[in-house]
Amino acid sequence: MTEDETDVVVVGLGPVGITLCNLLAAVGVRVDGIDAADDVYALPRAIGMDHEVMRVFQNIGAADAVAAVTGHYRPSEYRSADGVLLRRFESPSEPYPLAWPPYQTFLQPELERALRANGKRFANLSLRTGTELVGLENPERPVLTLARQDER
């Protein structure tokens, strides 16, 4: 896909960026997703989501792939440094009233890889990694300057 064929450019392919790329592509928008890194960041930062997020993944055709890299929250408590209870998670048993488990855990790198792989289903989605946005001109009809990491 060339720049003239792109409706939307998404800069950053973390969980939110790659999900947005998939959502837009699923409804026919021509998307170019770029990320400065060559691969997903190797360490997790986000670790949990709820059933609403799984419905988003279901809408873009990625639910099975994402479900394969998620687990259920075990009953757990989160406390402040002085021991005050901040949050308690106790997931209900199956059958789940809203189809997906209400709380799920994941390793962010695996989740991002599953979403990037799902994006390959869309001919109108181009993902370019190792590519950095280094300039933006003309807000009315944007002109982007991109640089490959190996060219910098």
* pLDDT score for 33: 97
Over the chain (152 residues), the average pLDDT of each successive run of 10 is 77 97 98 95 90 95 95 89 92 84 92 97 96 85 81 62
- Which pLDDT score, from 0 to 100, does residue 133 have? 87
Provide the whole-model pTM.
0.84
Q: Is 12 helix (H, G, I), strand (E, B) or coil?
A: coil
pLDDT value, residue 94: 86
CATH superfamily ID and name for 3-151: FAD/NAD(P)-binding domain (3.50.50.60)
Amino acid letter, 125? L
What tokens appear for 105 in the block?
A: 């855990």
Cα-to-chain-centroid distance, residue 13: 7
- What is the rounded CA–CA span in Å between residue 121 and residue 132? 24
